[in-house]
Each structure stands twice: as structure tokens, then as C-alpha cells.
Amino acid sequence: MSGTSLDGLDVALCRVQGHGPGTRLELEQFRTVPYSDEVRGRIREVFARDQVSLEHLTLLNPWLGRLHARLVLDCLREWQVPPDAVDLIASHGQTIYHAPQHQHQRPDFPLNATLQLGDGDHVAVLTGIITLSDFRQKHIAGGGEGAPLAAYGDYLLLSSATEERLLLNLGGIANFTYLPRASQDASTAFSTDTGPGNTLLDATVRAQRPTMTYDEDGRLAAAGHVHEGLLAALLDHPFFRAPVPKTTGPELFSPAYLHQAQEQTATAALSLEDTLATLTEFSALGVARAAIQAFGSRPELAVYMSGGGAHNPILQAALQRHLPGCRLATTQALGMLPDAKEAILFAVLANEAVAGQPVSLGAGRQRVPAVSMGKISLPG
Ligand SMILES: Nc1ncnc2c1ncn2[C@@H]1O[C@H](COP(=O)(O)OP(=O)(O)OP(=O)(O)O)[C@@H](O)[C@H]1O
Ligand SMILES: CC(=O)N[C@H]1[C@@H]2OC[C@@H](O2)[C@@H](O)[C@@H]1O[C@H](C)C(=O)O
């Protein structure tokens, strides 16, 4: 898995038994292989951009597939696991552009769309391991927005008979999965994006402190104060009023989005610390608003966080303030490494595609398409 933060490739070696509600998964190894500046730069040239070089895009597709294959082989070597001991690779690829209809609003293309690069054939041939990739297209074909796909794996691995849970992933974009109590009843489980997680925080830090990639432990944000005017301008977008489930990406929550809000409120000269404090509050409020939309004014749920933002104490404190009825912990409390969660979820999707059957979740507007996802690439 390589997410919208472009921090690296998450490689999770999983041992999976069974399928569907009987799935048992053990994480044997996990590593985030950091992307070099060169890799990040090559992705950024097309990432979430309207206008790109088609040649660059075309070259990037096999180049990323080959890069991901090499990084997987490096991990296996380090873990002393021969490639022929691995049955399958689930390769998410790199999301380059996410275009749900509500976001692109083009009457000439009345559909949802999303694009992930890093072709699975290259991963399969270079590693010699059967590879499943391009998971999101089937979800769109089945009536979804191509994301979030977390609901499937969260439901199969983390639902509880006794506890009502929110699985909150704080990546570049934040999303949560709702798992009802006694949740063998899948009809009320669903997942939704909530808005930015770290994407605007990271972009702001990078722009003003070129040697930093993110604000470690929210230290800069901790020294700042929330600017209420800027916060209100940031929250003033139809995305936050739209009912859940919904998806978004850095196409909308880009530096241009922040600049527009800064211009409206004459806050472009605000200190880095105050801007980061405000953006942290913005991410937390996106989560809280989606939770309030879904569960009423004072949700009382057990919230389990994952993703890089789960390491940010300032973001955690803001979430707790805005969700006072919720108990916050990380997925570590459920025995799942928070940084590995998204990669693990794709292993579950691949397992379902080859050994399971389409999972049916949600109902009505919150219906999650019952499809099996992933295209199969054979090594030979
Ligand atoms: N110690 C920390 N303090 C603050 N923020 C952190 C810390 N560690 C990681 N992060 C944040 O987490 C980000 C990486 O998160 P993650 O890897 O979950 O994102 P992603 O998977 O790429 O995104 P998405 O889920 O949207 O695809 C970093 O860019 C940084 O903003
Ligand atoms: C299009 C795309 O890549 N979306 C990602 C992104 O990162 C977080 C959020 O936005 C989520 O919708 C999704 O990833 C997770 C893994 C998902 O599909 O559940």
C-alpha cells in the first residue's frame, strides 16, 4: 500500500486463513520503505493535478510497478522469506487522481472515477508472485466511489459482538468505518472519508520548512493557536454538509484550497504554528462532523485510530475535544499495528477475491457494493 501522503510503500507480510467472517490474519512482518525524494518528485509531477505530461504518466505506470516489485523483494530478502513461499501480492498501487462525481461535477462524464498506477503485471513478472492489483475499479463498477474500501477488511477482522466501534484512519485523507455492536449484522456497517487528515498539514510544513516532511508529534502545531476565522472558511465547503458516505482527496484539499481560505480571511501571514494549529483543528472537526452526521449530536463509540495521524497527540487531543462521548485508542488495543492497517486490509481483499465471495455490507445510501475486487496478474 502506498497512500496519499507519499511517505513510502507499506509492505505487510500476512498469513491468512479462511475467508469471510472466518478470516484469521496474522501480521508476520511489516515495514514502511520510505520513498526517496526522486520517487516522491516523480509521483508529485502528476499527483492530483489537472494538467500533466501524458508521457510522464505513461512511463510512471510500469516504473512504479517495477519499483514496488523491487521494494517487496528487498523486504522479503531482509525477512529471509523466499519469494516462492508467498502465495499472493495485493498491490494497491499509487493513487494519482481520485474523481468522485460530486467532486469533478462534469455533466459530460456522469460517473465516479479513480486512477491508481503501478501496473500489477510488472509486479508479478518481477517478483514471480501472483499479484492482485487495481482494486478500486470494481467498486466503482458496482456503484461505489472506488473508496473507502476499508469497510470490507475492518468488518471481517475487527468487528465485535459487544462493542460499537469506529475505526478511524488518519492518513493524508481521514476516513472511518462504523461497525455496529453485535455486528454480524453487516447491514449497518459502512465507511466514509471525512476530509483531510494530514495532507494540508504536510503541504504547509513542506512549503515553509523545506527540510521537513511533516510536523513530528505536532510540535509546531502545539505552539500555535487556532484562528477561528480561517477555521470557519476552511469548513465552509459542501463536502462537509454532504451526507455520509462520501469520498475525497488531495484534488480538493490541496494547497490551493488553503490559500483561498487564507485570502478570504486575510490570514496568509499567520505564523506557521497558528496555521498548523488551525489545520489540525480542521482535520479533527471534519471527523467529528461526519460522526455527528452519521450518529447524532453526541456519538458514544469506541474509536480506534490508525494511520500516521494516530501518532499526532495534538490531533488526538482535538478529536477527543470534539467527540467527548467517545473513547479514543489506537488499533494496537485490538492487536493491529496502526501503521500496517491499510496494507493488511488489501491483503484481506485479495484473499476474498481468490478464496472468498463478495461481501455484502451496508444498506440504502450506505450500501457498500458486494463485489470481489482486484485484477489477477500471473508471473508467467
Ligand atoms: N509522529 C508523528 N507526528 C505527527 N504526524 C505524523 C507522525 N507520524 C506520521 N505522521 C503523519 O502521518 C503521515 C503518513 O500517514 P499514512 O502513512 O497513514 O498516510 P497514507 O497512508 O499515505 O494516507 P492515506 O490513508 O490518505 O492514503 C505523515 O505524512 C505525517 O503527516
Ligand atoms: C482513492 C484513494 O486512494 N483513496 C484513499 C485515500 O486515503 C484514505 C482515503 O483517501 C480512502 O478513501 C482511500 O484509502 C483507503 C485505504 C480505503 O480505500 O479505505
Read off the DSSP letter of residue 139.
Answer: H
User: Ligand 2 within 6 A of 149 CB?
Assistant: yes
Is 8 a known ligand-binding residue?
A: yes
**Gap between the Cα atoms of 365 and 245, Å rounded:** 8
- As given in the structure block, the three cell numbers for residue 207 are 512549503
User: Ligand 2 within 6 A of 276 CB?
Assistant: no
Centre of ligand 2 from the C-alpha of residue 128, in Å = 27
Is 10 a known ligand-binding residue?
A: yes
Burial code of 278-310, b = ≥16 C-beta within 10 A, e = fewer? Answer: bbbbbbbbbbbbbbebbbeeebebbbbbbbbbb
Q: 151-338: which CATH topology?
A: Nucleotidyltransferase; domain 5 (3.30.420)
**Gap between the Cα atoms of 68 and 71, Å rounded:** 5
Question: In DSSP terms, which residues pair with 316 in a beta bridge?
Answer: none
User: Ligand 2 within 6 A of 11 CB?
Assistant: no
Q: Considering the domain 8-144+373-377, what is its CATH architecture?
A: 2-Layer Sandwich (3.30)
State which ligand 2 atom lies nearest to the alpha carbon of 114: 1
Q: Where are the domains of the chain?
A: 8-144+373-377, 151-338
Number of C-beta neighbours around residue 120 at 10 A: 25
3-state DSSP of 253-301? CCHHHHHHHHHHHCCCCCCHHHHHHHHHHHHHHHHHHHHHHHHCCCCCC
Is 335 a known ligand-binding residue?
A: no
Centre of ligand 1 from the C-alpha of residue 3, in Å = 9
**Gap between the Cα atoms of 257 and 105, Å rounded:** 17
pLDDT (tens place) for every residue of the chain, 380 residues total? 999 999 999 999 999 999 998 999 999 999 999 999 999 999 999 999 999 999 999 999 999 999 999 999 999 999 999 999 999 999 999 999 999 999 999 999 999 999 999 999 999 999 999 999 999 999 999 999 999 999 999 999 999 999 999 999 999 999 999 999 865 667 888 999 999 999 999 999 999 999 999 999 999 999 999 999 999 999 999 999 999 999 999 999 999 999 999 999 999 999 999 999 999 999 999 999 999 999 999 999 999 999 999 999 999 999 999 999 999 999 999 999 999 999 999 999 999 999 988 877 877 777 778 889 999 999 99
- As given in the structure block, the three cell numbers for residue 202 are 504536510
Burial code of 174-193, b = ≥16 C-beta within 10 A, e = fewer? Answer: bbbbbbbeebeebebbbbbb
- Closest Cα partner for 104 from 252, 293, 206? 252
- As given in the structure block, the three cell numbers for residue 334 are 485490538
**Gap between the Cα atoms of 305 and 94, Å rounded:** 23
**Mutation to probe ligand 2, out of 47, 101, 169, 175 (largest number of atoms < 8 A from CB):** 175
**Gap between the Cα atoms of 144 and 139, Å rounded:** 5
**Gap between the Cα atoms of 221 and 215, Å rounded:** 8
ipTM score for this prediction:
0.98
State which ligand 1 atom lies nearest to the alpha carbon of 95: 27
Long-range CB contacts (within 8 A, 24+) of 157-160:
157/23, 157/25, 157/336, 157/344, 157/345, 157/348, 158/304, 158/331, 158/334, 158/336, 159/183, 159/184, 159/189
How would you list the strands of the sheet with 89-91, edge to edge? 89-91, 131-133, 375-377
Cα distances (angstroms) measured from residue 354 to each of 9, 30, 68, 191: 23, 23, 22, 23
User: Ligand 1 within 6 A of 164 CB?
Assistant: no
The reply to whether domains 8-144+373-377 and 151-338 share a CATH topology is yes
**Gap between the Cα atoms of 338 and 349, Å rounded:** 18
Is 32 a known ligand-binding residue?
A: no
**Mutation to probe ligand 1, out of 1, 2, 5 (largest number of atoms < 8 A from CB):** 5
Start-to-end C-alpha separation, the chain: 24
Please name which ligand lies nearest the alpha carbon of 251. 2
